[in-house]
Amino acid sequence: MKDYYTLLGVKPTASAAQIDAAYRGWMQKYHPNVRATQQGLDRMRELNEAWRVLSDSAQRAGYDRARAEGAVYQPPTAPATPRAGAPSVVADFGAPRRKGGSCLVRLVVVAVFLFAVGIFLWGLNQEVNFAAWWERTQNEISAFIPLSSPNQTFSAQSDVPPTPDPRCRNGCETPPPGCVVKGDVEPDGEQYFYLPNDEGYGSVRVEISKGDRWFCALTDAQSAGWTRKAPTETPPPSPPPDAFTTNLPRRSLVVCADHAALRQGPGADYPEVASVANGGRVAVTGVNGEWSVVNMDTGAAYIHTTLLCTPTRPPQPATSAVNANGETATPFAATTNSPIANAARAFKYPAPQLLEPTNGARYWCTRDLVLTWTLAAPALAPDEYFLVESKPHERERWTALSDWTKGTTVTLSPNRGGGSCDTVWWSNTGAYQWRVSVVRGNKEVPEYLSPFAVNDVIYAK
C-alpha cells in the first residue's frame, strides 16, 4: 500500500494546511512546465492521488484505518472535475489550458510595453540610476506588504517545502522561546547577526525601531539576507598526553626526591594526581619528552625523569668464598642510586654537552650569543635534529627556537631588537637557562630522544 504521507513528506498528524503547503511545494518541482519527463508525470500522478485522499476528511479517515490495520487501500476514482485545492494549485495537470485573450488585452500589453520603453528612454536622457530607483521602490513596497505569509510559495529548485510556521524566518520583533539569534542593523545600514557564542553578543541590544530583529537559527538569518558579524571559531582539540609517548619495556624505578608529583600529563601545568615519597617505587612503561610514563591502577600518570633513579642492588652476605688461588673473595658492595636523566637509559642518545656559553657566563644585549655543543653518538638519522630551547630561570615552560638544525652551533643576535633584549629569545634581562636536545617528529610537540644538559647565562644591558 502506498504511503501517502511519505509521498508528500509530512507526518501522519499533519493538518490540512500543512498537507496543502507540502503539495504546493512538490507541484513547483514536478509540474510538467518545470519537468516534462515521463518520470515527472508519474511522480505528479502519485502526488495528485495522495493529495486527493489526504485533503478529503472522509477518504483520509478510511486510509488511516487501512494503514493502521495493514490492509490494502483502494482510492476512489479521481473525479472528472477536480475539487477546489490549495491556492494557486490545479490538481489535474492533464487538462489543457484555456486559451484566453482578446484585442483589448493585446492593446493593453502593447501600451504597457510602449510606456516602459518611454520611461527607459527618459531615464537615459535624465541619467537616472535605475538600480537605486528599483531598490528604493522595493523598500517602499515592503513597508506595506508583509514580509512573509503562511501561503507563500518557494522556488522550484527547493526540494523541501517550508514549514507552515515561519518561526522568525524573516525576523521577529518578539522572539518565540528558544530564538536567541540577534540581528543588528548598523549605522551604515549593514545587517549583521550574532550567535550566543560570538564575540560582542552580550553588548548587542535588539532595538526594533532601528530595524533590529530576532531569529531562531543561523539559517533563518542567512536566508533573510543578514551576515554573521563575529563568528567564533572552535579551537581544534589538543592532542592527548599519550599522543607523543614512546613505549618502553616495563621497568621498576625508585623515586629519589621528596614527595615527587605524579601528574595527569607530561608537563608541570597538568594537575597533580598523586605524590610519591622518597624511596618509593614506580613502574615506568614509556617516555614523553623529559617526562616518564608511570603505570597506575587508575591509568597512566607522568613524573619528571630527573626525579627517578635506578634501584640499588641488595648487599650480599660476606661469605668466605675462596677462589682457585686460595684467596678469599671480597663480598659484593651495594651500588649507589643513579638518576635516570644522567644514565639516559630511557633515551636513544645521551645529553648533548654545551661547550659555549659556559655555565654562569655573562652576556649583554649588544653581543651575539654563540651556542656550541657536542654529542657523543653517531650521526643523527635523516628525521632527527637538534633543538635549542631557553627560559627564564624562575619559570617552568621552555621556549623553542623556530628552526631545527643538524649542526652543532647556532648564533643568536639580541641586538636585532636595538640592543634592548626584546627579541624572540628573551624579553628582559636576568638569569636564563639554555639546553640542547635531540628531537624528531612534530615541531609543535617534538619527541625528545635525549635528556638535557642545562647551562645558566646572565644577561645585562
CATH topology of domain 1-97+129-159: Helix Hairpins (1.10.287)
Count other C-beta atoms under 10 Å from residue 179's C-beta. Answer: 17
More confident residue, 424 or 453: 453
User: Cα–Cα distance between 153 and 139 in angstroms, integer?
Assistant: 21
**Among 260, 252, 267, which residue's Cα sits nearest to residue 448?**
267
- Average pLDDT score over the chain: 75
For residue 315, what pLDDT is reported?
46
pLDDT band at 163 (very low <50, low <70, confident <90, very high): very low
pLDDT band at 182 (very low <50, low <70, confident <90, very high): very high
For residue 110, what pLDDT is reported?
92
Q: Average pLDDT of 63-90?
A: 66
Helix (H) or strand (E) holding 116: helix 103-126
User: Cα–Cα distance between 140 and 372 in angstroms, integer?
Assistant: 77
Count other C-beta atoms under 10 Å from residue 312's C-beta. Answer: 12
Q: What are phi and psi of 53, to 5 degrees?
A: -75, -50
For residue 109, what pLDDT is reported?
92
Give Cα 149 to chain centroid, integer Å: 37
Q: Where are the chain's structural domains? A: 1-97+129-159, 166-234, 250-346, 353-460
Q: Average pLDDT of 127-136?
A: 64
**140: helix, coil or strand?**
helix
Alpha-carbon distances of 301 from 115, 140, 239, 372, 411, rounded to whole Å: 85, 69, 16, 35, 38
More confident residue, 377 or 149: 377
- State the number of CA atoms in the 13 A half-sphere of 320 facing the CB: 1
Q: Which of 173-187, 225-239, 243-257, 357-371 is the least confident region?
A: 225-239
More confident residue, 426 or 193: 193
Detail the DSSP E strand segments found in 200-240.
213-215, 227-228
Condensed to tens digits (0 to 9), the pLDDT of residues 257-275 reads 877 899 988 888 889 988 8
Condensed to tens digits (0 to 9), the pLDDT of residues 380-405 reads 888 889 998 888 877 777 888 767 88
Asked whether residue 162 carries a pLDDT value surpassing 90, the answer given is no
Q: Which of 39-43, 105-109, 180-184, 230-234 is the least confident region?
A: 230-234
Are the CB atoms for 282 and 256 separated by under 8 Å?
Answer: no
User: Cα–Cα distance between 247 and 226 in angstroms, integer?
Assistant: 53
Do 250-346 and 353-460 show the same overall fold? Answer: no
Question: CATH assignment of 353-460?
Answer: 2.60.40.10
Asked whether residue 114 carries a pLDDT value surpassing 90, the answer given is yes
Q: Average pLDDT of 302-320?
A: 67
Condensed to tens digits (0 to 9), the pLDDT of residues 427-459 reads 556 778 888 988 888 777 788 888 887 888 877
Asked whether residue 318 carries a pLDDT value surpassing 60, the answer given is no
For residue 333, what pLDDT is reported?
33
Asked whether residue 408 carries a pLDDT value surpassing 50, the answer given is yes
Helix (H) or strand (E) holding 347: none
More confident residue, 25 or 421: 25
For residue 196, what pLDDT is reported?
85
User: Cα–Cα distance between 351 and 452 in angstroms, integer?
Assistant: 5
Looking at domain 250-346, its CATH class is: mainly beta
* Percent of the chain whose pLDDT exceeds 70: 69
pTM of the predicted protein model: 0.29
For residue 213, what pLDDT is reported?
92
Q: Average pLDDT of 49-64?
A: 88
pLDDT band at 80 (very low <50, low <70, confident <90, very high): very low
Are the CB atoms for 318 and 305 separated by under 8 Å?
Answer: no
Specify the amino acid at residue 79.
Answer: P
The set of cell numbers assigned to 23 is 503539495
**DSSP result, 6-49:** HHHT--TT--HHHHHHHHHHHHHHH-TTT--SHHHHHHHHHHHH
pLDDT band at 151 (very low <50, low <70, confident <90, very high): very low
For residue 242, what pLDDT is reported?
62
Q: Average pLDDT of 103-118?
A: 90
Condensed to tens digits (0 to 9), the pLDDT of residues 319-341 reads 444 444 454 433 333 333 444 44
